[in-house]
Structure 1
């Protein structure tokens, strides 16, 4: 970036033309720019929220990103240009001039952000632009100097576009239309704006490149333009046609534009277009129609401002001269001189302007000469010579002197004519020398402008290179992000597939468990029914028909309850209590001489808070009666106790004082062993499946009666 800084320095020195000691001082300052240092900075929102992953690029190739705190560090040299880019705000540019900490603040909403460096930085750009505008018509070199400074302070593509547009305006102001075209193009490359496109087309036209001008105008016609832009488009194309002698096409477009201007009441365009239509009719030889349009334009110009009015008066005066209406011409030009003289402070008129007093007085004298009114012509020509001498306008002084010689000659004052002619020949020699100097100066001036333009363009080239590097980096990051996101997406899909498979397997396992439970329940019910029917059969066998009927009636109630609950995994505890009460009553009815029973339910137990698998307790009660108490010689007992063991736990204890498990096994037949083994096995399988499905909800423990012979079954169920 050192080369970049040197170019800025040379451009700065050449435009300022300051003293040699100042240049030396600046040279020493420039040499310090070779030293590198660490630039520290931060990027944050207006509320100081840091913005991470903002890309910071130095034109030399150094690259970094802001961290989670929005901070960055970068090795730079004085004069390096930094490009700061993010999706949160427009790209900004900063030229390093000090090692002060750099703060970038985003002061708008996240989706319409205008980033700012320190406020002084924004002011520096605006100040430079304002200064360039001030010198636009006064000093091209100073104007370019300030525009160069504004580019140095530019912090966005929008500001860059604005600076190059103004540079194009400056060159157009000084008739350097080829350079104006170049800078308008650069401005459009930064930001495509319709108004700049219109300026570009106008610059092509003034540079005699009418074909290119029409191409730009035709391209603009495809866009959605506002009213003013549409009028300017038609006017610009008409200017090209008028220049190329296509008067009919020019007239149609001027009138079309005028109609729009009148419709939308755009006063300045109405004035200009009336004047230009007058030019077309004058060129076509329709002098009366031309005069009508000129007079209309002159009247409208008087309503705008004095500058526009005297410009139109000059055009009308030239028309009156062409139509040989010299009295009208003289009247108009005297009015122009009076206005200019009265408002000297408000008018800056270079010698090149057609409105200078010396030129107007010369033309008034010429008009009197053409009328052969030599007496009136002399004072105006002499005044013109005097004014031209004061303003060093040799061209007008020469012409006025020559015309004065002709006036004297025509009025037969030959001595004066000869004397004045000698002055004229002397002025011609002076003018010749001056023109030689001007040609030399113009060559140097053109060369100087070309060098400045080259340097300014190098700034833009460096900036475009930085943008290209950023875009390349962004593309690379986008590709990396795509691969990362693809891998993350693939991993997510694998995890999703694994989860779905796990869920499917779990669902299948649940379905299998439900099917197994249903199968086990279907096996339990026939087992229970078979035993109950055997009891009925035993009553019938002893011809106790009445008892059998009573037993069968109670049994039907029990069977209804069993069948109602057969499809459920869990039923309310109170239903299970009713079921075991009914079943125990039936078994006691049959074996009254073998045992007594009690069913104790803790008074403090909230029975409605608990659920229990159906037919869980009945097999253990059945086992106690049939395999323990039935074989006892004396009368035994069966105790069923239901209580809350501890909060959230239900404890059911089934205790008998039968012959015990060991003796019962010894008494069993082979058929009974197989049968009982299957029944108890089914109970255990049900418990295991339910515990798998409901996280160890049920616990069953079968032990010897701790008090005497017999068996105790303890069932624990979580709430």
Structure 2
């Protein structure tokens, strides 16, 4: 008889599995009958209906509200209802039944919170410090609001120190909300404004979380330990240990943790002593040395008991997990029962979300699982049932699902096949609910990520606009000074003819220099915009294909290049080292877009001291752009671009840009009349710049262009010669 029951249970489980598999492959959103949802949308304050509101179901149904604010739409249980209108923030609602829906909305949050804030912050009450404090206050509650405040603080910033602080707070926001790539970008910009050890350590941690392990180690290793506080020094060693643990370099991880532990013991920093003992224990366990791990866990647990009760409970859970991994189920059960007693005491003072390990449903599940592993089914069943009930009351579907599945297995092993089948069917239903919930969470996470990236791009755009406005203001002041100089010169000329003649001669000389400078500025401003437009098209393409991470990475590199170009736009010459960084970044971006068209290499002779030479900013970029866009892009096979820098004499270096593209003649034949005009104008501008600079600085730059090779694709070679001052 028992074998018959067992056969029935196995057959039922197989049928349920087939049912579950068919649901997973067809999508749970397609399950259940459709019904008509009736609802209305009204303004919360005035209770006035809002007509023409967009109502959409994720399954494809669409309608709008009528003049009374009412709507009807077909939907199923579990569908997501999206309610959109230009005058309020989009509302998302999960359909549970065919109940009537009443949606009360307020004016757009950003409008109500910040339009007023903008007026006050510019005029009277709001200062940079107040805005930064507000951003930090909202950091863990509302990411959008916190970012908005940080952006406002950046707008009223008056120094590079304040800029650095604002970008640091932005990095903290993205770090907390697990947008690690954006955290890295903002910490880097903060360090560009003002370098602090605090931000360096934060950047290293963000690199680690973003899985840029080598970059993280580079930051940690290049930080001057003598400049760190005792706490920061411990954080540095702990961070190095965390990176090595993530890359499975367990011995290096232990070495770093022990260095941090030495500092913590010397200065009696108790919380860090506890944490590092615990991490050393976890690392030894991962390494397979369980006895050593046990010793360090005993130390960390004793130390945690001397701190607060919550910390002690957290450490007991870690040790219980360790005992579970090593099949010491009796010790695990004893520890988890102690944890349960402590949780009931600290729950009155603290609130734990379902992701926390400090929840009674998780501990009851793990106690039940430990009893089941010992084949003690009589004790396992009550704990699993209690875990299921608690998880259900707290809407913890993950624990409820796992505990239900384990209960089904325990019933099966105990020979209670009817109960096992019933529990397994409940497990299948929970998987269904969990799948729908996860689907909604993924959708919400995608929207959240999109909003965050949009706000970050807006902040970077505002920062660029602010820098441009400052440049215009400085130019206006300079023009005003020049006008005053002319007026004073004319007054002096009336008083004394000889002085007038001298001043006129001096003025003409200055005017000639000013004209040259103005001409240079004009030529620099006429840079061929192909790269900018094409880069933005690439970003648009990435966004259109929902590749937001790639778009964001490309846009971040692009913004760094544009920032560097703007910073150097007022200079006649910049250090060669900076120009090399610019062309490396530019060539990297072009190669990112045309990886199938060419490879490239940049060779710099080791004997060159690049700090000794200067070069006109963005002089090399147009030649590289021509090589890519007019030579390599049209090549039938994969081409090659080489940029080399060599030193001819002690006072002269030669920069060669060569490609094996289709050559100047073929490229010219392929162009339209308009394209030929644009290229001609671009090359003409470069020649004029070189001519003016050589006139002002006595033949400092020489440019020579020739065919590269005598083959089918002749290619082009550009040789730029620079002389030292």
Per the normalisation by structure 2, the TM-score is 0.49
Larger RCO of the pair (alpha carbons < 8 Å, separation 6+): 2
TM-score between the two structures when normalised by the length of structure 1: 0.49
